[in-house]
Structure 1
Amino acid sequence: MLQKGIYTGVIEKDENNNFFCGEYLLDYKMVMAKHVVGDMITIKSIIENPSDISFKKYPKKSKRFDKANNKPEQS
């Protein structure tokens, strides 16, 4: 079973060089440091997107996400 989180999906990049996963904008520096387009990630938390430029397209943003992996469920 995939680890729990808000959303699990694949990192994509739009025509404006924004990294996103589903409807969530991803922190650019975090993606560049640890990930590549196509990585399967799990988003751990979201905030309201503070950027006026990308808010219309991505009203929610995440800085807390990591590669998705299979972990046993904790009981």
Structure 2
Amino acid sequence: MSKSTAPTPSEREQDTGWRAPSRPGGLGRSATVTNHCGRTMRVKVVIKYGPDSRCFTLPPRHWARFNWTFGSYDKTVTC
């Protein structure tokens, strides 16, 4: 099953700074995905050289944040 890049109304914002994750002793990055479409979207964050996010179900005007510790943001796709 092929994944397509999330449509334009689904906005992605990557945190460019390092932050302390929920577990002590580590550093991490985060990406926030906001649904600006007029319909519910299922999206996931793809991380290059790291673990991808789960599939988030986002109703219109809702958002989700994915945190990871290694790799870099690649893209956001529908799922």
Q: TM-score range by the shorter chain?
A: under 0.3
TM (norm. structure 2) is 0.24
Q: Which has the higher helix share?
A: 1
TM (norm. structure 1) is 0.24
Q: Which has the higher strand share?
A: 2
